Structure 1
Amino acid sequence: MTRTTPNPAIRLEEITPGNFEAAIGIRVRPDQEVAVSPVMQSLAEAYVHPAGVAWPRLIVDGDRPVGFLMAFLDIDWRGDGTDFRSGLWRLNIAAEEQGRGYGRFAVESVAGEIRSRGGSQCHVTYHPGTDGPQDFYLGLGFRPTGETSGSQTVAVLNLT
């Protein structure tokens, strides 16, 4: 997957006191709220996990916050120390910013971070069905593993 951006001004920013309000202000479309947790919940989850596991970032285009992503890096998937995985944990693109390439940028950014850490796979979970993000992830090359996480489908993108 080659990293491309909708324009050169797009970037990821760490969540700081200076952009916290912008991050928690990101809202997906109302029909998507059942499929993705709000940014505030993601930041709370990032806080309670061991340092380095959660990788939350604000997606900014120029001076506009357009989305939020959170990756998981080397998380103990089964909790038994036998299966460590990395991938995209959350993706929230602001309702009015969807369809402009920011989701693709987010996935490519997470894949790049995983590669830089020596990883060869990027995992994602999503609510199955055509009304969810399934077609988006499949279109980027993710393939279902046959596993589920709760009610969500687990998919993987090979990075090699």
Structure 2
Amino acid sequence: MPYLATLTPDNLDAAIAVRVRPDQEHASTPVAESLAEAYVHPAGVAWPRLIMDEERVVGFLMAFFDIDWKMDGTDFRSGLWRLNIDARAQGRGYGRFAVAAVGEELRRRGEDLLTTTWHPGPDGPEAFYQRLGFRPTGETSGGETVGVLGLG
């Protein structure tokens, strides 16, 4: 049964070793870069977690909480910032588990909408997110499609 774990000095190397398939690298961000981004944002904005199966790291996710989406103080959002499932662990439900876990954390914090972005096109994860119920908003962010999932 998968579960989430916080990052520690003992599991940092395993986290950084998470690698998606080579054909997915253009549509994902390496874990080390995600951790650097988490570090430079104010405390509490980024929520990095390892996706574990027993004692084995199978992926990495990073959620975000109350980001000023339009950077004008009018649109604060929370959701899934990064999702990397190790190439050797794909196709086993870990991505679906990760999205559900972020949804649970957002509900616990009183949120009712999960926002994420994905690389557009046939070589991106759009079909995965749409199977989970995400719908595109018509917006883009950094060239990526913005999607939302209701948590109600």
TM range (shorter): over 0.9
State whether structure 2 residue 72 is matched by structure 1 residue 87: no
Partner of 1:38: 30
State how far apart, in whole Å, the 2-side matches of 1:18 and 1:82 are. 40
After superposition, the CA RMSD in angstroms is 0.6
Q: Alignment identity in percent?
A: 68
- Is there any run of 5+ residues in structure 2 with no aligned partner, and where? none
How many residue pairs end up in the alignment? 152
Give the drift of 1:73. Answer: 0.8
Q: Give per-residue Cα distances to partners, 1:58-114, cap 9 Å, x unaligned.
A: 011001100000001111111111111001000000001000000000000000000
| Counterpart among 40, 52, 68 of residue 60 in structure 2 | 68
State how far apart, in whole Å, the 1-side matches of 2:36 and 2:126 are. 26
| Counterpart among 6, 12, 17 of residue 14 in structure 1 | 6
Partner of 1:96: 88
Q: Give per-residue Cα distances to partners, 1:105-135, cap 9 Å, x unaligned.
A: 0000000000000000000100111211000
Which amino acid in structure 2 is aligned with residue 157 of structure 1? L
Partner of 1:4: none
* Structure 1: 4+ residue segments shifted above 6 A: none
State whether structure 2 residue 15 is matched by structure 1 residue 23: yes
State whether structure 2 residue 147 is matched by structure 1 residue 155: yes
TM-score using structure 2 length = 0.98
* Paired residue secondary structure (2:29): coil
| Counterpart among 118, 128, 135 of residue 110 in structure 2 | 118
Which amino acid in structure 1 is aligned with residue 44 of structure 2? G
